[in-house]
Amino acid sequence: MYGWVGAPAQPANTTLASLRSDYKTDFVLMVAEAYPKSEDLPDAIKMLRQINPDDPLKAADEALVTGQQLGYSEADLRLLVNLDLRVRQYGSQP
Amino acid sequence: MKDHRPPLYLFTGIIIGVLVGLLITYVLLPVRYTNTAPDTLSAAQKEIYRSLVGRAYLYEADSGRAFSRLALLQDNDLNTALVAQSQQLAAEGTDLLSARGLALLASAMTQPGLVITPLIGVTPTAAATKSQPATRTPAPTPTSPPAITATTPVHVTRTPVQPTSTPFATFTPRPSATPAPTQGAPFQLVSKSGDCDKNPRGALLTVNVLDASGNGLPGVKIEISLPNGGSEDFYTGFYPEIGEGYADYSMSPDITYSLRVGIGGEPVVGLQLPQCNGSAGQSYTVDLELVFQQ
C-alpha cells in the first residue's frame, strides 16, 4: 500500500521510446526540422528509431496523426508529411 | 519426545519465493515505463534530445521553440549543459551541426536578442502552398498536450490526446552516475597581434580558439571583463564562414580588458586595442587578434 499510494515509484532513466505521444510527436517534428535534406535521411531514420526501434516509418506515421489531432500548424504538418513521404520512399527502395 | 527444531521447509519456501519474484520482475516481466516526460530520460537520451534541438535550431532559427523544448529536460544548469555538450560534439567531430546549434543556443541564453540566419533546408513537397503564412506549433508542455493553434487545419480531427499523469511503474531503477564531460586541457594564448595595415580604426577583439590539432572549436565560452567591474560572456562558432573557433567582441578604445577562454583557462590581462601611427603622424587603432590553443 505504501509503495502504490504513499510513495509511488517515479520513472527515471527512461528512453525516448517511452515518451508520451505528444512529446514523441514533437521529437519527430524536430527530426523533420533537423534533417531536411535527402542525404540526411539515413540519419533521420536513425533518430526515428529512437522512438520506434522496430519501425521508424510507424513513428513518422503516428506523429503525423497525432500532430493533426493536436492541431499542429500547417507548416509543421507539412514538415511531418515531407518526412513521412521520404521515409516511405526510402523504405520502398530496393 | 517432541521435536523443537524450526520448520526448515518454511525458509526454503521464502527463498524460493524471493527468487521467483526476482526472476519475474527482472527477466520475465521487467518494468516498462510509458507516457513519460523528457525530464525522466537517461543522460544519454537527454544528449540525443539536446543535440536534435540544437540541430533543428540551426535550420529553423526559432529560439523560443528551442528553449521551450530544452526546458522540458529540466536541466539544473542549462547553459553549462549546452556548452559542455557542444564542446564534446565538436571534439568528437561526429555532429558538427548540432555542436554549432548548441553553441548558438548557449550564446542566445546570454544574448536574448540574438537572431541567426537559418540554414537552407529542402523545398517542401507539392502539397505545400507557398501563399499561406507559416504558423508555429509550440512545443508540448510538461503537464498537458500542446494547445491547438492551427489557423488552417489540415483534416484536423480534434480529439486531443489525454495526458496520462502517473506512469505505470512498479519500481525505480537505481540511477547511474553520469560521467562529467571532458573539458580538455586549458586554452593558452599562443598569439597576440594587431596588423596596422589591416582594417584601420578597427575596434574588434578577434579570438580564434583551436584544439590541440589546430582545428577551430565552436561553442567555447569566452569571459571578458567590463569596465564597470562586471563581465560578459561570448562564444565561438558564430561565424563558421570565418572559422569554427572564431569569435569577436567590440572593444572600446582606452579601456583595458582581461579575458579568459574556456573553463579553467588562465586569464589574459592588459588587453587594449593596438595603436598604430599613420604616414601623416596621426594615430589610429586596429583590431586586436588573439589565438588560443589547447
Contact residues on chain A for B33, CB-CB shorter than 8 A: 11, 14, 18
Contact residues on chain B for A75, CB-CB shorter than 8 A: 134-136
Flag the least confident range among A27-36, B138-147, B165-174, B263-272.
B165-174
Write the DSSP string, B272-285.
-PPEEE-TTS-EEE
How far apart are the C-alpha atoms of A49 and A63, rounded to whole Å? 13
Q: Is A89 on the interface with B (CB under 8 A)?
A: no
Q: Does B34 sit within 8 Å of A68, measured CB to CB?
A: no
Distance of CA B209 to the CA centre of its chain: 18
Q: Does B35 sit within 8 Å of A26, measured CB to CB?
A: no
- Given pLDDT bands bounded at 50, 70 and 90, which one contains residue B268? confident
Domain ranges in chain B with CATH number 2.60.40.10: 188-293
Arithmetic mean of pLDDT over chain B: 76
Q: Does A69 sit within 8 Å of B159, measured CB to CB?
A: yes
User: Given a cut of 50, is residue B110 above it in pLDDT?
Assistant: yes
The interface predicted TM-score (ipTM) is: 0.93
pLDDT for B135 equals: 52
Which residue of A33, A36, A71 is in closest CB contact with B148?
A: A71
Asked if B236 and B216 count as a contact pair (C-beta separation under 8 A), the reply is: yes
Q: Is A38 on the interface with B (CB under 8 A)?
A: yes
First-to-last C-alpha distance (Å) of chain A: 56
* % of chain B with per-residue pLDDT over 90: 20
Alpha-carbon torsion angle A39, A41, A42, A45, nearest 10: 170
Q: Which numeric CATH code is attached to B188-293?
A: 2.60.40.10
Q: Does A33 sit within 8 Å of B160, measured CB to CB?
A: no
pLDDT for B142 equals: 56
B163 compared with B245, residue with greater pLDDT: B245
User: Given a cut of 90, is residue B249 above it in pLDDT?
Assistant: no
Contact residues on chain B for A8, CB-CB shorter than 8 A: 166, 169
pLDDT for A19 equals: 96
pLDDT for B2 equals: 62
Range with top average pLDDT, A4-13, B103-112, B224-233: B103-112
pLDDT for B180 equals: 40
Asked if B72 and B65 count as a contact pair (C-beta separation under 8 A), the reply is: no
Range with top average pLDDT, A33-47, B192-206, B267-281: A33-47
Q: Does B53 sit within 8 Å of A18, measured CB to CB?
A: no
User: Given a cut of 70, is residue B244 above it in pLDDT?
Assistant: yes
User: Given a cut of 90, is residue B51 above it in pLDDT?
Assistant: yes
Q: Does A36 sit within 8 Å of B33, measured CB to CB?
A: no
pLDDT for A4 equals: 63
Q: Does B175 sit within 8 Å of A18, measured CB to CB?
A: no
Chain A with chain B: Cβ pairs closer than 8 A: 165
A33 compared with B231, residue with greater pLDDT: A33
Contact residues on chain A for B142, CB-CB shorter than 8 A: none
Q: Give the full edge-to-edge strand order of the sheet including B204-210.
A: B188-193, B288-293, B204-210, B246-250
What single-letter amino acid sits at A9? A
Contact residues on chain B for A34, CB-CB shorter than 8 A: 52, 55-56, 58-59
A58-87 residues touching B, CB cutoff 8 A: 66-79, 81-82, 85
- Given pLDDT bands bounded at 50, 70 and 90, which one contains residue B129? very low
Q: Does B49 sit within 8 Å of A16, measured CB to CB?
A: yes
Instruction: Give the SS3 label for residue B64.
Output: helix
Q: Does A19 sit within 8 Å of B38, measured CB to CB?
A: yes
pLDDT for A25 equals: 96
Q: Does A74 sit within 8 Å of B151, measured CB to CB?
A: yes
pLDDT for B274 equals: 85
* B192 phi/psi in degrees, rounded to 5: -140, 120
* Cα dihedral sign, B183-B185-B186-B191: negative
pLDDT < 70 regions, chain A: 1-4, 7-8, 92-94
Cell numbers describing residue B288: 586586436
Q: Does B151 sit within 8 Å of A73, measured CB to CB?
A: yes
First-to-last C-alpha distance (Å) of chain B: 85
Instruction: Give the SS3 label for residue B41.
Output: strand
How far apart are the C-alpha atoms of B131 and B127, rounded to whole Å? 12
Query: Can you tell me the mean pLDDT for B109-121?
Result: 75
- Given pLDDT bands bounded at 50, 70 and 90, which one contains residue B1? low
pLDDT for B78 equals: 92
Query: Can you tell me the mean pLDDT for B161-187?
Result: 47
What single-letter amino acid sits at B291? V
| CA proximity to A80, closest of A27, A16, A15, A19 | A27
User: Given a cut of 80, is residue B125 above it in pLDDT?
Assistant: no
| CA proximity to A60, closest of A36, A37, A79, A34 | A79
User: Given a cut of 50, is residue B158 above it in pLDDT?
Assistant: no
Q: Which residue of A has its CA nearest to B55?
A: A34
Q: How far is A5 from chain B (nearest CA, A)?
A: 11
Give the burial class of B98: count Cβ atoms within 10 A of its Cβ; 0-12 exposed, 13-18 middle, 19 or more buried: buried
| CA proximity to B224, closest of B277, B264, B187, B261 | B261
pLDDT for B176 equals: 47
pLDDT for A84 equals: 93
CA distances for B196 relative to A44, B151, B189, B203, B277, angstroms: 49, 57, 21, 12, 8
| CA proximity to B43, closest of B169, B179, B183 | B179
Cell numbers describing residue A65: 496523426
User: Given a cut of 80, is residue B270 above it in pLDDT?
Assistant: yes
User: Given a cut of 90, is residue B275 above it in pLDDT?
Assistant: no
